[in-house]
Amino acid sequence: MFDLEGQLPADWLDEARQRLRDGGENALRVLFPGLARSVGRDALDGGIQEREGLKVNFAAWRVCDAAGSALIEAAETSDETIVDLFLHGDFEERTIVMRSLAVADVGPATVELLGEAQRTNTQTHFEACVCDSNLVARAVGQRDFKTNDAYKTLLKGAFVGLPLDRFFGILDHASPELARMVEGLASERRAAGRAVWPDTDRVVAACGS
Amino acid sequence: MRIFEPHCHMFSRVTDDYERMALAGVRVVLEPAFWLGQNRTSVGTFIDYFDTIIGWERFRSEQCGIWHLCTMALNPREANDDRVNDAVMEVLPRYLEKDSVVGLGEIGLDDQTTKEEKYFIAQLELGKQHDLPVLIHTPHRDKKRGFERCIAILKDMDYPMGRILLDHSNEETIPLTRELGCMSGFSIYPNTKMDPHRMVTILQQFGIEDMIINSACDWGVSDPLNVPKTILRMELAGFSAADIDKLVWQNPIDFFAQSGRFDPKVLETRPRPDRGETLDGNSMLRGQDPGSF
């Protein structure tokens, strides 16, 4: 869908694809831990791109993220294996799996990992999953991911101080309920004498009354 | 003095041990996957253990200023257990590719059974496929014969001996391994398998080339400071600082650098611990103020 292959080492990609042809998902499980080591963590070239309803800011991506996405796509990876790659992944592997969701259709694995993002205390994994793309917005209404789940995701983003602009398209789903949740956080912060999320007013304005 | 401790089961030790080791000059520990003192009943507990030694244990070590590397394997004792052996072999390939994994081990022989040999050979093949150096556990009972059997298997497979570390050596086994081109390891315990005094005598006789010493500190009577204690005895016996550095730093660095998975220059520095840092949201602070350290 997005053309990222040009930024991957061609020899590495050829060999990895051959291993996937020979070994399928088992080969993918073995290739995944070495991704960052093999292709590096340098930033990708390219900013915001849109294709077929997907919107991604590749400035947030690294070469190893693109490599992971390419392998997941090449292996025609099942949802079970995508979740398995996350659950058995180390810090980098988990980051790569989470980022790959932004360039794929919303499947059962996406919804399950959106749930993992909501539960994790590792902010890098939360951001890799829900920020810098319209994943959360386009997941709404698919499978059992509901509008309220998207609100809770944005609220967690607000709670840890992430800018609204990193959640592409989220305000397309705005409603008075979202305003209530965001205002509730602001009220609690004011009562505690703490800083209020700077994007509170923008969200409330978008939600109407 | 800079120390690479190439065989420590830190999973079984307390945080105070890390701090004492750091003070004594240890900059790197290598944690081989091993038997936990009682048999496991399912592969899930192996997976959790493997995840711990590449996860929490690595984090805990770096919080104490020590780099943490490891080796992964199905240990020989549990290779005999059909509840877990094949299932562990199935998950091993993905763990052998994890970033902090710099070798395969401990594999080898323990009770010297047919099953142990089967999984020893199968794992040596994995070592080739993943291009990793191999840490071999040798039996504590009937040790000399166990060494001979390990060596025979390696020769049968035409295994590159420069990638082999035969551990738990003693006075009787060292003459068997000197000409092989492999690394010889000595696990220095307080009283039993090897001790600092005997170790110095062996080094005086056989030199420091292709030699590695470790404490193998685990859940039993063992001492995580036995490498620094042996260094002290070496100094008293007149070994030069350069020789000691080769034994406790350069030799293990050279051996495990064959994995291509670490930069030796980085290991010369200390990880910079930030006591406020977390792993999956957990810090080591237990509610204390990070500034109190």
Instruction: State whether residue B275 is helix, strand or coil.
Output: coil
> What is each CA distance from B164 to A87, B113, B125, B208, B269, in whole angstroms?
33, 21, 13, 16, 27
* Contacting residues of B for A88, CB less than 8 Å apart: 47, 51, 94
The better pLDDT of the pair B191, B149 is held by: B149
Q: Do A88 and B94 touch (CB under 8 A)?
A: yes
pLDDT of residue A45: 87
pLDDT of residue B292: 54
Provide the CATH number for the domain around residue B175: 3.20.20.140
Q: Is B145 on the interface with A (CB under 8 A)?
A: no
Q: Is B213 on the interface with A (CB under 8 A)?
A: no
The better pLDDT of the pair B282, B226 is held by: B226
User: Would B73 be classed as within a structural domain?
Assistant: yes
User: Would B275 be classed as within a structural domain?
Assistant: no
Is the pLDDT score of B166 beyond 80? yes
pLDDT of residue B277: 79
pLDDT of residue B65: 94
User: Would B293 be classed as within a structural domain?
Assistant: no
Instruction: Compare all CA atoms of chain A with the CA of B44 and give the residue at the minimum distance.
Output: A88
User: Would B25 be classed as within a structural domain?
Assistant: yes
Candidates A26, A33, A121; nearest CB to B99: A33
- pLDDT, average across residues A128-135: 98
At B117, list the tokens. Answer: 């040999």
Is the pLDDT score of B27 beyond 80? yes
The closest alpha carbon to A62, from A90, A93, A87, belongs to A93
Name the average pLDDT for chain A: 95
ipTM computed for the complex? 0.79
User: Would B292 be classed as within a structural domain?
Assistant: no
Helix or strand run (H / E) with residue B137? strand B134-137
User: Would B278 be classed as within a structural domain?
Assistant: no
> What is each CA distance from A64 to A13, A15, A169, B130, B233, in whole angstroms?
12, 15, 26, 20, 48
User: Would B282 be classed as within a structural domain?
Assistant: no
pLDDT of residue A173: 97
Q: Do A121 and B54 touch (CB under 8 A)?
A: no
The pLDDT-based confidence of B293 (bands split at 50, 70, 90) is low
What's the pLDDT tens digit per position in A136-178?
999 999 999 999 999 999 999 999 999 999 999 999 999 999 9
Phi and psi (nearest 5°) for B185? -105, 145
Instruction: State whether residue A71 is helix, strand or coil.
Output: helix
Q: What percent of chain A has pLDDT over 70?
A: 100
Expressed as residue numbers, the domain containing B164 is: 3-269
Helix intervals (H) in A106-191: 108-119, 123-130, 135-139, 147-159, 176-191
Give B164's strand partners.
Answer: B134
Domain tally, chain B: 1
At B280, list the tokens. Answer: 């999956």
* Contacting residues of A for B282, CB less than 8 Å apart: 121
Q: What percent of chain B has pLDDT over 90?
A: 85
Q: Do A29 and B278 touch (CB under 8 A)?
A: no
Instruction: Compare all CA atoms of chain B with the CA of A88 and give the residue at the minimum distance.
Output: B51
pLDDT of residue A209: 59
Compute the nearest-CA separation of A15 from chain B (Å).
Answer: 15
User: Would B280 be classed as within a structural domain?
Assistant: no
pLDDT of residue B285: 78
What's the pLDDT tens digit per position in A38-72?
999 999 988 999 999 999 999 999 999 999 999 99
Instruction: Compare all CA atoms of chain B with the CA of A90 and give the residue at the minimum distance.
Output: B55
Q: Is B99 on the interface with A (CB under 8 A)?
A: yes
pLDDT of residue B291: 65
The pLDDT-based confidence of B150 (bands split at 50, 70, 90) is very high
